[in-house]
A and B are shown apart, each in its own frame.
Chain A
Amino acid sequence: MKLPIICPSCDHTLNVSQMKCPDCGTNVNGDYELPVFLKLNREEQDFILNFFLSSGSIKEMAKQAELSYPTMRNKMDDLIQKIDQLKK
Protein backbone atom coordinates (compact mmCIF):
# COMPACT_ATOMS: atom_id res chain seq x y z
CA MET A 1 0.00 0.00 0.00
CA LYS A 2 1.32 3.44 -0.93
CA LEU A 3 2.03 5.84 1.97
CA PRO A 4 0.27 9.15 1.31
CA ILE A 5 2.67 12.04 1.93
CA ILE A 6 0.84 14.96 0.29
CA CYS A 7 -2.48 16.39 1.47
CA PRO A 8 -5.09 15.73 -1.25
CA SER A 9 -6.87 18.93 -0.27
CA CYS A 10 -4.08 21.57 -0.17
CA ASP A 11 -0.93 19.73 -1.40
CA HIS A 12 0.96 20.36 1.86
CA THR A 13 3.20 17.60 3.26
CA LEU A 14 1.25 15.42 5.69
CA ASN A 15 2.29 14.77 9.30
CA VAL A 16 1.84 11.54 11.23
CA SER A 17 -0.91 11.77 13.85
CA GLN A 18 -1.29 8.16 14.90
CA MET A 19 0.83 5.01 15.09
CA LYS A 20 -0.31 1.59 16.11
CA CYS A 21 1.51 -1.46 17.44
CA PRO A 22 0.49 -4.33 15.14
CA ASP A 23 1.15 -6.83 17.94
CA CYS A 24 -0.79 -5.51 20.99
CA GLY A 25 -2.91 -2.84 19.34
CA THR A 26 -1.54 0.07 21.41
CA ASN A 27 -2.17 3.42 19.72
CA VAL A 28 0.20 6.40 20.00
CA ASN A 29 -1.25 9.77 19.09
CA GLY A 30 0.70 12.94 18.40
CA ASP A 31 1.82 15.29 15.65
CA TYR A 32 5.03 13.96 14.12
CA GLU A 33 6.68 15.43 11.04
CA LEU A 34 7.67 12.88 8.41
CA PRO A 35 11.44 12.32 7.99
CA VAL A 36 12.91 13.95 4.87
CA PHE A 37 13.29 10.59 3.10
CA LEU A 38 9.57 9.88 3.44
CA LYS A 39 8.67 13.30 2.08
CA LEU A 40 10.12 12.23 -1.27
CA ASN A 41 7.96 10.44 -3.82
CA ARG A 42 8.39 6.73 -4.49
CA GLU A 43 10.60 7.24 -7.54
CA GLU A 44 12.95 9.51 -5.61
CA GLN A 45 13.11 7.09 -2.68
CA ASP A 46 13.95 4.27 -5.10
CA PHE A 47 16.66 6.44 -6.65
CA ILE A 48 18.35 6.96 -3.26
CA LEU A 49 17.99 3.27 -2.43
CA ASN A 50 19.56 2.28 -5.77
CA PHE A 51 22.37 4.76 -5.17
CA PHE A 52 23.05 3.09 -1.82
CA LEU A 53 22.86 -0.41 -3.32
CA SER A 54 25.30 0.59 -6.10
CA SER A 55 27.82 1.58 -3.41
CA GLY A 56 27.35 5.26 -4.25
CA SER A 57 28.39 4.88 -7.88
CA ILE A 58 26.42 7.09 -10.28
CA LYS A 59 28.26 5.41 -13.13
CA GLU A 60 27.01 1.99 -12.04
CA MET A 61 23.46 3.33 -11.65
CA ALA A 62 23.58 4.85 -15.13
CA LYS A 63 24.71 1.52 -16.53
CA GLN A 64 21.87 -0.35 -14.81
CA ALA A 65 19.25 2.18 -15.93
CA GLU A 66 20.72 2.30 -19.48
CA LEU A 67 21.15 6.03 -19.25
CA SER A 68 24.20 8.22 -19.77
CA TYR A 69 26.34 9.37 -16.86
CA PRO A 70 25.40 13.10 -17.12
CA THR A 71 21.68 12.22 -17.20
CA MET A 72 22.01 10.24 -13.98
CA ARG A 73 24.18 12.92 -12.36
CA ASN A 74 21.61 15.59 -13.29
CA LYS A 75 18.88 13.51 -11.61
CA MET A 76 21.10 13.32 -8.56
CA ASP A 77 21.74 17.08 -8.56
CA ASP A 78 18.00 17.82 -8.88
CA LEU A 79 17.27 15.47 -5.98
CA ILE A 80 19.96 17.08 -3.81
CA GLN A 81 18.43 20.46 -4.56
CA LYS A 82 14.94 19.18 -3.60
CA ILE A 83 16.21 17.67 -0.34
CA ASP A 84 18.02 20.93 0.52
CA GLN A 85 14.73 22.76 0.09
CA LEU A 86 12.81 20.21 2.18
CA LYS A 87 15.36 20.55 4.99
CA LYS A 88 14.94 24.32 5.19
Chain B
Amino acid sequence: MNWKTIFNPFLKFDDKKLLVIGILFFIFNIFGSYYADSINDSIFHYSSLEENQEIWEVVKVNSLSYLMAIVIIFILGKILNGRTRFIDILNTLLISQIPLMIMIPINGLPFYKKAIENLSDNIATPEKIQFWDMTLLTFGGFISLILLIYSIVLYYNGFKTATNIKKWQHIVLFAFITLLITIVSQIIF
Protein backbone atom coordinates (compact mmCIF):
# COMPACT_ATOMS: atom_id res chain seq x y z
CA MET B 1 0.00 0.00 0.00
CA ASN B 2 1.50 3.34 -1.07
CA TRP B 3 0.66 6.92 -0.06
CA LYS B 4 -1.70 7.34 -2.99
CA THR B 5 -3.75 4.35 -1.81
CA ILE B 6 -3.76 5.55 1.81
CA PHE B 7 -5.21 8.91 0.79
CA ASN B 8 -7.46 7.49 -1.91
CA PRO B 9 -8.37 3.84 -1.25
CA PHE B 10 -11.27 4.26 -3.73
CA LEU B 11 -8.75 4.15 -6.61
CA LYS B 12 -7.72 0.59 -5.95
CA PHE B 13 -10.04 -1.35 -3.67
CA ASP B 14 -13.07 -3.29 -4.80
CA ASP B 15 -16.40 -1.59 -3.98
CA LYS B 16 -17.76 -4.65 -2.13
CA LYS B 17 -14.71 -4.85 0.15
CA LEU B 18 -15.02 -1.14 0.92
CA LEU B 19 -18.74 -1.54 1.62
CA VAL B 20 -18.17 -4.40 4.11
CA ILE B 21 -15.44 -2.40 5.91
CA GLY B 22 -17.66 0.70 5.90
CA ILE B 23 -20.66 -1.15 7.37
CA LEU B 24 -18.51 -2.82 10.05
CA PHE B 25 -17.13 0.55 11.11
CA PHE B 26 -20.61 2.08 11.02
CA ILE B 27 -21.75 -0.56 13.54
CA PHE B 28 -18.57 -0.06 15.57
CA ASN B 29 -19.31 3.69 15.55
CA ILE B 30 -22.73 3.11 17.15
CA PHE B 31 -21.13 1.35 20.13
CA GLY B 32 -18.17 3.76 20.16
CA SER B 33 -20.49 6.78 20.20
CA TYR B 34 -22.63 5.28 22.96
CA TYR B 35 -19.52 4.48 25.02
CA ALA B 36 -18.33 8.09 24.65
CA ASP B 37 -21.85 9.48 25.39
CA SER B 38 -21.97 10.97 21.88
CA ILE B 39 -24.14 10.90 18.81
CA ASN B 40 -23.01 11.34 15.22
CA ASP B 41 -25.60 14.02 14.39
CA SER B 42 -24.00 14.87 11.04
CA ILE B 43 -21.02 13.77 9.02
CA PHE B 44 -17.78 15.15 10.52
CA HIS B 45 -19.60 16.03 13.77
CA TYR B 46 -20.43 14.47 17.13
CA SER B 47 -22.68 15.92 19.84
CA SER B 48 -23.13 14.92 23.46
CA LEU B 49 -25.77 12.31 24.16
CA GLU B 50 -28.34 13.54 26.63
CA GLU B 51 -28.61 11.70 29.93
CA ASN B 52 -30.74 8.55 30.19
CA GLN B 53 -30.86 8.11 26.42
CA GLU B 54 -30.46 4.55 25.22
CA ILE B 55 -28.32 3.09 22.48
CA TRP B 56 -31.37 3.10 20.16
CA GLU B 57 -31.20 6.88 20.08
CA VAL B 58 -27.60 6.60 18.82
CA VAL B 59 -28.69 4.01 16.23
CA LYS B 60 -31.51 6.30 15.04
CA VAL B 61 -29.54 9.57 14.87
CA ASN B 62 -26.36 8.03 13.42
CA SER B 63 -28.37 6.18 10.74
CA LEU B 64 -30.58 9.12 9.78
CA SER B 65 -27.70 11.63 9.59
CA TYR B 66 -25.73 9.27 7.34
CA LEU B 67 -28.80 8.47 5.23
CA MET B 68 -29.50 12.16 4.68
CA ALA B 69 -25.90 12.86 3.63
CA ILE B 70 -25.75 9.79 1.35
CA VAL B 71 -29.00 10.67 -0.46
CA ILE B 72 -28.10 14.35 -1.00
CA ILE B 73 -24.51 13.63 -2.07
CA PHE B 74 -25.75 10.91 -4.43
CA ILE B 75 -28.23 13.35 -6.04
CA LEU B 76 -25.40 15.89 -6.42
CA GLY B 77 -23.17 13.20 -7.94
CA LYS B 78 -25.89 12.23 -10.40
CA ILE B 79 -26.37 15.87 -11.43
CA LEU B 80 -22.63 16.37 -11.99
CA ASN B 81 -22.11 13.00 -13.71
CA GLY B 82 -25.01 10.78 -14.76
CA ARG B 83 -22.82 7.66 -14.47
CA THR B 84 -22.27 8.07 -10.73
CA ARG B 85 -23.11 4.85 -8.88
CA PHE B 86 -24.88 4.72 -5.53
CA ILE B 87 -22.39 2.22 -4.06
CA ASP B 88 -19.45 4.56 -4.74
CA ILE B 89 -21.16 7.43 -2.90
CA LEU B 90 -22.18 5.09 -0.08
CA ASN B 91 -18.57 3.91 0.26
CA THR B 92 -17.30 7.50 0.15
CA LEU B 93 -19.50 8.47 3.08
CA LEU B 94 -18.84 5.32 5.13
CA ILE B 95 -15.07 5.06 4.58
CA SER B 96 -14.34 8.78 4.94
CA GLN B 97 -15.80 8.84 8.46
CA ILE B 98 -13.65 5.95 9.76
CA PRO B 99 -10.81 8.17 11.11
CA LEU B 100 -13.33 10.05 13.26
CA MET B 101 -15.02 6.79 14.31
CA ILE B 102 -11.66 5.60 15.65
CA MET B 103 -11.15 8.77 17.68
CA ILE B 104 -14.56 9.00 19.33
CA PRO B 105 -14.28 6.01 21.75
CA ILE B 106 -10.98 7.49 23.02
CA ASN B 107 -12.99 10.51 24.21
CA GLY B 108 -15.01 8.10 26.35
CA LEU B 109 -11.97 6.66 28.20
CA PRO B 110 -12.25 7.51 31.96
CA PHE B 111 -8.90 9.35 32.25
CA TYR B 112 -9.68 11.42 29.14
CA LYS B 113 -13.17 12.31 30.39
CA LYS B 114 -11.69 13.24 33.76
CA ALA B 115 -9.16 15.54 32.07
CA ILE B 116 -11.98 17.30 30.18
CA GLU B 117 -13.97 17.68 33.41
CA ASN B 118 -10.94 19.08 35.27
CA LEU B 119 -10.30 21.55 32.49
CA SER B 120 -13.96 22.66 32.38
CA ASP B 121 -14.08 23.08 36.17
CA ASN B 122 -10.92 25.20 36.26
CA ILE B 123 -11.47 27.24 33.11
CA ALA B 124 -11.89 30.43 35.20
CA THR B 125 -8.78 29.67 37.26
CA PRO B 126 -6.10 28.60 34.77
CA GLU B 127 -3.42 28.27 37.50
CA LYS B 128 -5.32 25.25 38.88
CA ILE B 129 -5.25 23.37 35.57
CA GLN B 130 -3.02 20.31 35.84
CA PHE B 131 -0.08 20.07 33.43
CA TRP B 132 -0.93 16.41 32.69
CA ASP B 133 -4.58 17.25 31.80
CA MET B 134 -3.52 20.10 29.55
CA THR B 135 -0.87 17.96 27.79
CA LEU B 136 -3.30 15.08 27.32
CA LEU B 137 -6.05 17.28 25.86
CA THR B 138 -3.66 19.21 23.63
CA PHE B 139 -2.28 15.93 22.29
CA GLY B 140 -5.83 14.55 21.88
CA GLY B 141 -6.92 17.71 20.08
CA PHE B 142 -3.92 17.53 17.77
CA ILE B 143 -4.62 13.90 16.88
CA SER B 144 -8.33 14.72 16.33
CA LEU B 145 -7.36 17.54 13.98
CA ILE B 146 -5.08 15.25 11.94
CA LEU B 147 -7.83 12.60 11.77
CA LEU B 148 -10.40 15.22 10.73
CA ILE B 149 -8.14 16.42 7.91
CA TYR B 150 -7.54 12.82 6.81
CA SER B 151 -11.29 12.21 6.91
CA ILE B 152 -11.96 15.26 4.69
CA VAL B 153 -9.23 14.13 2.26
CA LEU B 154 -10.85 10.68 2.01
CA TYR B 155 -14.28 12.27 1.54
CA TYR B 156 -13.07 14.56 -1.27
CA ASN B 157 -11.07 11.83 -3.02
CA GLY B 158 -13.98 9.39 -2.74
CA PHE B 159 -16.42 11.81 -4.33
CA LYS B 160 -13.89 12.79 -7.00
CA THR B 161 -13.33 9.13 -7.90
CA ALA B 162 -17.07 8.38 -7.89
CA THR B 163 -18.03 11.33 -10.10
CA ASN B 164 -14.82 12.14 -12.03
CA ILE B 165 -15.31 15.88 -11.37
CA LYS B 166 -12.53 18.19 -12.50
CA LYS B 167 -14.00 21.68 -12.76
CA TRP B 168 -13.34 23.99 -9.81
CA GLN B 169 -17.00 25.11 -9.88
CA HIS B 170 -18.10 21.52 -9.19
CA ILE B 171 -15.59 21.20 -6.34
CA VAL B 172 -16.85 24.44 -4.77
CA LEU B 173 -20.47 23.27 -5.14
CA PHE B 174 -19.57 19.95 -3.51
CA ALA B 175 -17.91 21.74 -0.58
CA PHE B 176 -20.88 24.09 -0.21
CA ILE B 177 -23.45 21.25 -0.25
CA THR B 178 -21.37 19.32 2.29
CA LEU B 179 -21.28 22.32 4.60
CA LEU B 180 -25.04 22.75 4.18
CA ILE B 181 -25.66 19.07 4.96
CA THR B 182 -23.62 19.22 8.18
CA ILE B 183 -25.42 22.36 9.38
CA VAL B 184 -28.94 21.18 8.49
CA SER B 185 -28.28 17.69 9.87
CA GLN B 186 -27.12 19.11 13.21
CA ILE B 187 -30.22 21.32 13.40
CA ILE B 188 -32.63 18.45 12.58
CA PHE B 189 -31.01 15.73 14.70
* Residues on A facing B (Cβ under 8 Å): 66-71, 73-74, 77-78
B74 interface residue, CB < 8 Å from A? no
Assuming the contacts A73-B83, A77-B83, asked whether A68 and B13 have C-beta atoms less than 8 A apart, the reply is yes
User: Is the CB–CB distance between B161 and A70 below 8 Å?
Assistant: yes
- List 22 contacting pairs A-B, 8 Å CB cutoff, sorted by A: A67-B11, A67-B12, A68-B10, A68-B11, A68-B12, A68-B13, A68-B14, A68-B15, A70-B10, A70-B15, A70-B85, A70-B88, A70-B161, A70-B162, A71-B10, A71-B11, A71-B12, A71-B161, A73-B164, A74-B164, A77-B83, A77-B164
CA distance A77 to B14 in the complex (A): 19
B10 cross-chain contacts in A, Cβ below 8 A = 68, 70-71
CA distance A74 to B14 in the complex (A): 15
A70 cross-chain contacts in B, Cβ below 8 A = 10, 15, 85, 88, 161-162, 164
The residue of chain A having its C-beta at the shortest distance from the C-beta of B14 within the complex is A68
Segment 135-176 of B: residues with Cβ below 8 Å from A: 161-162, 164
The residue of chain B having its C-beta at the shortest distance from the C-beta of A65 within the complex is B12
The 3 closest A-B pairs by CB, nearest first: A74-B164, A71-B11, A70-B161
CA distance A37 to B14 in the complex (A): 30
CA distance A44 to B17 in the complex (A): 29
A78 cross-chain contacts in B, Cβ below 8 A = 164
CA distance A77 to B160 in the complex (A): 14
B88 cross-chain contacts in A, Cβ below 8 A = 70
B164 cross-chain contacts in A, Cβ below 8 A = 70, 73-74, 77-78
CA distance A66 to B12 in the complex (A): 6
B162 cross-chain contacts in A, Cβ below 8 A = 70
Shortest Cβ distance from residue B116 to the other chain A in the assembled complex, whole angstroms = 40
The residue of chain B having its C-beta at the shortest distance from the C-beta of A71 within the complex is B11
B13 cross-chain contacts in A, Cβ below 8 A = 68
**Most chain A CB inside 10 Å of its own CB: which residue of B10, B12, B164:** B164
Segment 59-108 of B: residues with Cβ below 8 Å from A: 83, 85, 88
